[in-house]
Amino acid sequence: MESFSITRPDDWHVHLRDGAMLSRVLPYTARRFGRAIVMPNLDPPVLTTADAEAYALRIRQCLVPDSDFEPLMTLYLAESTTPAEIERASRSPVVAAVKLYPKGATTNSARGVAALDALGPVLDALERFDLPLLVHGESTSPDCDVFDREREFLDRSLVPLVERHAGLRVVFEHITTADAAAFVEQAPARVAATITPQHLLMNRNALFQGGLRPHHYCLPVLKREEDRQALVRVATSGNPRFFLGTDSAPHSRSSKESDCGCAGVFNAPVAIEAYAEAFARADALDRLEGFASHFGADFYRRPRNRGRIRLERCDRPGPAAVGEGPDGLVVFFAGEALRYRVVGPD
Ligand code: DOR
Ligand code: ZN
């Protein structure tokens, strides 16, 4: 196709950060997406409804005049979270969901949850007040192989949680394995998953292509080729339980290219183009709109966006970085050919 248009998409999983980083990265998300689910793993985290409302305001203050981008906020589930806080969150016009980080699983997860069992009353409250639980699905047990963390979390924690809380809506975030895809396919309709562009376009070989590649490192880490293929299959299947969540997670070049590099891929500047590339490679561009623009809104029970964006054939590499030097942000897929680019609203 030379050119095509889709309903304006939403990003159901993004890290916008705060302060100077927020001002640098927000424009890339806000110019493409109508809404975004904003992750709460700031330091300190977004623990309360009041924190989320203040953060939403800081985001709005960073938007260009007349932007109609809507940040949808999340609370960071901690062992200190109370059912009363969940009730408050459910009444807030800006809070859309609550995020579960297993303690120590990823960036700024030190305040995350070590013992899920202790959270029963809070999970009951999520169910009662109908707020979705977003899950970073990785086991943190020290003897678990890093490539098995999602699988172990699924078996030991997620399956029992979904069974125990029969009315809870759950998003299994940034799934990376064939096992996770199969689980969501056979789970009840209240369970969905987001998929990132990097997990659709790369497998774990990309981490070691000609040397160590820190800019391909994110959590959950890239998996095997058969996992990537399973993700492409479900993303392009038209199954509404799989939808777009970029997990765009900026870190400066110096914190990625380091002794102990941070996890996170900054894909916001090319996110739609990268998803289009993955769908084009699978000969499934006709399925992109559902995945990118319809299914997430339906799951979160929000109206689909009304505007449209147009993509045009281009076969050009995307931008390599935002900013220069150690503070620069290396962009996902830098230097690789992308066969479509967004040419603006339709
Ligand atoms: O790669 C990641 N980066 N995975 C996460 O779960 C967190 C994120 C971040 O905040 O940098
Ligand atoms: Zn994330």
Tens of pLDDT, residue by residue over 318-341, are 889 999 999 999 999 998 999 999
Give the pLDDT mean for 197-226: 98
Residue 102 Cβ < 6 Å to ligand 1 = no
Alpha carbon distance 17, 38 (integer Å):
9
pLDDT at 345: 83
Which residue range forms the structural domain that includes residue 115? Answer: 9-306
User: How many residues comprise the chain?
Assistant: 346
Alpha carbon distance 272, 312 (integer Å):
12
Alpha carbon distance 41, 47 (integer Å):
9
What domain count does the chain have? 1
pLDDT at 129: 98
Give the pLDDT mean for 290-318: 95
Residue 334 Cβ < 6 Å to ligand 1 = no
pLDDT at 346 over 80: no
Give the pLDDT mean for 88-98: 98
12-25 per-position pLDDT tens digit: 999 999 999 999 99
Residue 318 falls within a domain, yes or no?
Answer: no
Residue 114 falls within a domain, yes or no?
Answer: yes
pLDDT at 169: 98
Residue 299 falls within a domain, yes or no?
Answer: yes
Residue 129 sits in a domain whose CATH number is 3.20.20.140
Tell me how far the alpha carbon of residue 26 lies from the centroid of ligand 1, in angstroms. 16
Residue 312 falls within a domain, yes or no?
Answer: no
pLDDT at 316 over 90: no
pTM (two decimals): 0.98
Residue 326 falls within a domain, yes or no?
Answer: no
Q: What is the mean pLDDT of the chain?
A: 97
pLDDT at 1: 82
Q: Which ligand is nearest to the CA of 112?
A: 1
pLDDT at 122 over 80: yes
Q: Which sequence positions are flagged as catalytic?
A: 247
pLDDT at 148: 98
Tell me how far the alpha carbon of residue 218 lies from the centroid of ligand 1, in angstroms. 6
Instruction: Please give the C-alpha separations between residue 103 and each of 79, 147, 161, in angstroms, as whole numbers.
Output: 10, 18, 17
Vertex 187: Cα angle to 171 and 279 (nearest 5): 65
Residue 105 falls within a domain, yes or no?
Answer: yes
